[in-house]
């Protein structure tokens, strides 16, 4: 009897383990750049920790990338080949978006997370990667495509366009004011607009100016116009402020650190200016 029970338990375990693996695989989709050779594809799959025969694999073409990025960034950032790849795994409700990157130089994980929330992606583990260093602008297309397949949810086309524009706008700002600062700025502005449900261009402009001043970030008129135009599109998506905050909770700590550093630097700069002012006042007193 004991032997029969043991054999029965062993049979049940053999049956359960493949089913568990299959269930896990069904929650994962990988998108590979269409111009990767077989060796590079295998490198990406190894990095993602998946087996070619056990996971759904999509291919992203340069035409798909240009559909969303054309007119937003220069051709050198888009490139002539599709290299960026992505891993997307569905997570349980409430876990939010978790982003990792590998060989991505221009786009940060915070930028991806912010843009993905705008696109409507939620509760997903995302890895954007390439076999060698690339800007990473094209990876967003593959991430969204993979999420649609694994979730069975079609993302709104306007939301996807706005997400790509947000990614590019944040990246371009990052070249001037710093990547982390740019991500924090766009996140703060987007949350405020979602919270107040602002749609009027004048009101959006006031929010952009107010929040950039609070973060001690100096923007040019052209940069303000660029952010206002982006936020006008985002305001029409009716994003929920709680969802924005909840989805990027895992990276919010780093953004809060950026705000803290900016605030501390603001205090340091003020003290330096005060010291300089006192120094010149002392000089003037010596000169009578």
8 A C-beta contact, residue 224 and residue 205: yes
CA end-to-end span of the chain, whole Å? 108
Helices vs strands, H then E, count in the chain: 12, 5
Q: Is 224 exposed, middle or buried (0-12, 13-18, 19+ CB in 10 A)?
A: middle
What's the CA gap between 86 and 150, in Å, rounded? 13
Count CB-CB contacts under 10 A for residue 80: 8
Burial group, residue 61, by CB count within 10 angstroms (0-12, 13-18, 19+): middle
**Torsion angle defined by CA atoms of residues 66, 84, 34 and 28, in that order, rounded to the nearest 10 degrees:** -110
Distance CA 261, CA 263 (A): 5
Amino acid 9: pLDDT: 47
The pLDDT of residue 193 is 94
Per-residue tokens: 76:
């050198």
- Domain segments of the chain as ranges: 27-263
- What pLDDT score does 67 carry? 81
The pTM of the full predicted model, rounded to 2 decimals, is 0.78
Separation of alpha carbons 125 and 149, rounded Å: 14
The length of the chain in residues reads 288
Let me know: does 99 contact 124? Beta carbons within 8 Å: no
The answer for residues whose C-beta is within 8 angstroms of residue 155's C-beta and 6 or more apart is 119, 120, 121, 144, 147, 148
Strand-pair partners of 33:
60
Residue 264: its pLDDT value, please?
56
* Cα separation values, 65 from 6, 136, 140, 192, Å: 55, 11, 9, 30
Both tokens assigned to 200:
């009027």
Work out the burial of residue 216: count CB atoms within 10 Å of its CB; fewer than 13 is exposed, 13-18 middle, 19 or more buried: middle
- Kindly give the interhelix angle for 179-196 and 249-286, rounded to the nearest 10 degrees: 110
**Max Cα distance, the chain (Å):** 108
Antiparallel, parallel or unpaired: β 124-134 and 97-104: parallel
Per-residue pLDDT of the chain (288 residues; tens, 9 = 90+): 544 444 444 444 444 444 333 436 789 999 999 999 999 999 999 999 999 999 999 999 988 888 877 767 666 666 678 999 999 999 999 899 999 999 999 999 999 999 999 999 999 999 999 999 999 988 999 999 999 999 999 999 999 999 999 999 999 999 999 999 999 999 999 999 999 999 999 999 999 999 999 999 999 999 999 999 999 999 999 788 877 877 877 665 544 555 454 455 544 444 455 556 665 565 666 665
């Amino acid at each position: 009897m004991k032997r029969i029970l043991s054999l029965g338990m062993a049979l049940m375990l053999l049956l359960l383990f493949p089913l568990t693996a299959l269930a896990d695989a069904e929650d994962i989709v990988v998108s590979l750049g269409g111009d990767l050779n077989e060796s590079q594809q295998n490198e990406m799959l190894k990095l993602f920790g998946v087996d070619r025969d056990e996971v759904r694999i999509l291919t992203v073409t340069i035409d798909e990338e240009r559909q969303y990025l054309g007119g937003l960034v220069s051709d050198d950032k888009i490139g002539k080949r599709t290299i960026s790849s992505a891993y997307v795994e569905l997570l349980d409700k409430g876990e939010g978006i978790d982003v990792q990157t590998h060989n991505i130089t221009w786009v940060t994980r915070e930028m991806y997370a912010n843009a993905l929330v705008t696109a409507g992606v939620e509760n997903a583990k995302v890895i954007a990667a390439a076999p060698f260093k690339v800007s990473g602008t094209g990876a967003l297309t593959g991430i969204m495509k993979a999420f649609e397949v694994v979730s069975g949810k079609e993302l709104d086309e306007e939301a996807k366009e706005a997400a790509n524009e947000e990614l590019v706008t944040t990246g371009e700002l990052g070249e001037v004011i710093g990547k982390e600062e740019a991500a924090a700025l766009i996140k703060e502005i987007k949350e405020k607009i979602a919270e107040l449900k602002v749609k009027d261009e004048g009101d959006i402009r006031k929010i952009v100016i107010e929040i950039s001043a609070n973060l001690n970030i100096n923007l040019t008129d052209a940069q303000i116009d660029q952010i206002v135009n982006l936020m006008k599109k985002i305001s029409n998506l009716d994003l929920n402020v709680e969802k924005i905050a909840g989805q990027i909770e895992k990276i919010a700590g780093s953004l809060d650190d950026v705000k803290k550093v900016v605030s501390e630097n603001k205090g340091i700069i003020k003290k330096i200016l005060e010291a300089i002012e006192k120094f010149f006042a002392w000089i003037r007193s010596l000169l009578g």
